[in-house]
Amino acid sequence: MPSSVTLIVALGAAVAGFVQGLSGFAFGLVAMSIWVWVIDPQLAAALAVSGALAGQVIAAFTVRRGFAIGLLAPFVLGGLAGVPLGAFLLPHLDIHWFKAVLGAVLVLWCPAMLLSKDLPRITFGGRIADAVVGLGGGVLGGLGGFTGTLPTLWCTLRGYERDVQRTVIQNFNLSMLAVTLVVYVASGLITRSMLPMIALVLPAMLVPALIGARIYVGLSEAGFRRIVLSLLTASGVALLVSALPHLLR
């Protein structure tokens, strides 16, 4: 593989690792927005899942925020049903339309929430709604390690405090990414030829993830909310930028 591609993959892993350490999610979104220019979507998905899982393992030891089983369980149960579906769809999906739709939702919705003085709080649906969001997160995880996008947006709309949101997202991502990696290996989506690139991604994201986790500890509630919504918006823009040239051809 050309040295320029190797450098871009390492750079994407480093940037995504920092973002994940800081926010608790978004490794796949950030990394894919960089990698999509130089490697094929299936390889990018495998690298994103591997790197995101490594980042969540690091966070589990460096940013400990408890384990609220009653709050987490609906998300995880829904996600467990969604991961195999996403992995099944990955080889058959038009990845550019997927990125365009997801990017458009993030770009339209998140800035409105960011500019709102009083965020709308969703109180309806209970655990069933949480499970449906978990299902969506699982599907997105199977498609490329995007497990945290929908649950993060949902937790923000629920009005959860910073540490409660981190508890849900961190533990949900850790469990979903572990399942996704197992499904990828079992289904043959991760091949032996991908291992050298995975070995490149893991050390590249390690130190940036630790730095991001250290910065998170000092964030205020308002600061954390602004960072999360800004990252979701930026991720949406990156997805649109990577998808639209292909759709306009």
Encode pLDDT of 152-183 as tens digits.
888 888 888 888 888 888 888 888 889 889 98
Task: Look at residue 37 and give its three-state secondary structure.
Answer: coil
Q: pLDDT tens digits, residue range 41-81?
A: 788 888 988 998 998 888 777 665 556 788 889 999 999 99
The arithmetic mean of pLDDT across residues 31-38, rounded, is 79
CB 45 within 8 A of CB 24: no
pTM of the model: 0.76
Distance CA 156, CA 221 (A): 11
* Dihedral sign for Cα atoms in the order 91, 105, 32, 201: negative
Assess contact for 105 and 162: CB atoms under 8 A: no
The per-residue b/e assignment along 145-181, b for 16 or more CB within 10 angstroms, e otherwise, is bbbbbbbbbbbbbbebebebbbbbbbbbbbbbbebbb
Residue among 41, 15, 8 at smallest CA distance from 30: 15
Counting residues of the chain whose pLDDT is more than 70, the rounded percentage is: 95
